[in-house]
């Protein structure tokens, strides 16, 4: 069993990998969750300490999620921090988005956040402690051209996040939401040209802001931050 456990979904690259380094540096045992084991291993190699575990998982599968979180609890202990970061986007005019793409965005972005959160709530309520960080994106605040279904999934995530705040208002469980614009990550590979991604935000900067604002402090609670490109 370890002292502090942080679970990060979508930890294979981008913001998830950057946040993993933050929690690892702060002495957490970091559980790296994602679809591709090779990418998770790459993130693990860059961590400042060797206290980590890798769990390949499809967060859209309730069964897989339940199995992974049961494994974490049995082998490591109760989760102290959950970062719901896994996400996928397919961008086109509304009428052109395929059925598979619709399912993928709703299943991973929305259902994945719900399924992972459900697995930690009972223990967090029992201990009256813990943090849940929902990485939502500005797509959860406003509609965007060619992002109709992506925005729909993120508006749903925002609704889940804001409802959690209400449900847990009388507890010491910290629920934090991050609404940020585009970052220069693999998320945009094959979607945006490098000339565009070069002007996007650095995930390390975003990780700094999220980690700093999500830190537990006496007598105050930061419920959300909005971070936009210039």
CATH code, domain with 15: 3.40.50.720
Q: How far is 19 from 189, CA to CA, in rounded Å?
A: 20
Closest CA to 153 of 137, 164, 166, 176: 137
Quick check: is 211 catalytic? no
Range of the domain at 72: 5-227
The residue annotated as part of the active site, out of 23, 28, 150, 179, is 150
Mean pLDDT, rounded, for 177-189? 69
pTM of the predicted model as reported, rounded to 2 decimal places: 0.91
135 versus 1: which is more confidently predicted?
A: 135
Q: What secondary structure letter does DSSP report for 175?
A: E
Q: Which of 5-14, 43-52, 154-163, 182-191 has the lowest mean pLDDT?
A: 182-191
Residue 183 pLDDT exceeds 90: no
Q: How many domains does the chain have?
A: 1
In this predicted model, what pLDDT tens digit does every residue of 169-179 receive, in sequence order?
999 999 999 99
CA dihedral defined by 216, 180, 207, 158, rounded to 10 degrees?
40
Structure tokens at 182: 């585009």
Sequence-distant (≥ 6) Cβ neighbours of residue 207 within 8 angstroms: 15, 18, 19, 21, 22
């Amino acid at each position: 069993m370890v002292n502090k456990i942080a679970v990060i979904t979508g930890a294979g690259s981008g913001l998830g990998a950057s946040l993993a380094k933050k929690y690892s540096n702060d002495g957490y045992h970091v559980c790296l969750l994602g679809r591709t084991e090779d990418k998770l291993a790459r993130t693990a190699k860059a961590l400042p300490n060797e206290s980590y575990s890798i769990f390949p998982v499809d967060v859209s599968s309730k069964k897989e999620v339940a199995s992974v979180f049961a494994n974490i609890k049995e082998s490591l202990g109760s989760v102290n921090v959950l970062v719901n970061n896994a996400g996928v986007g397919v961008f086109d005019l509304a009428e052109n988005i395929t059925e598979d793409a619709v399912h993928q965005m709703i299943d991973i972005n929305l259902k994945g956040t719900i399924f992972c959160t459900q697995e930690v709530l009972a223990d967090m309520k029992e201990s009256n402690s813990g943090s849940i960080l929902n990485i939502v994106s500005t797509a959860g605040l406003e509609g965007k051209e060619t992002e109709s279904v992506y925005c729909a999934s993120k508006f749903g995530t925002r609704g889940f996040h804001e409802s959690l705040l209400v449900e847990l208002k009388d507890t010491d469980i910290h629920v934090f939401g991050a609404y940020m614009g585009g970052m220069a990550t693999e998320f945009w590979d094959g979607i945006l040209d490098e000339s565009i991604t070069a002007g996007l935000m650095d995930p390390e900067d975003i990780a700094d802001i999220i980690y700093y604002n999500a830190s537990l402090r006496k007598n105050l609670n930061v419920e959300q931050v909005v971070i936009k490109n210039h």
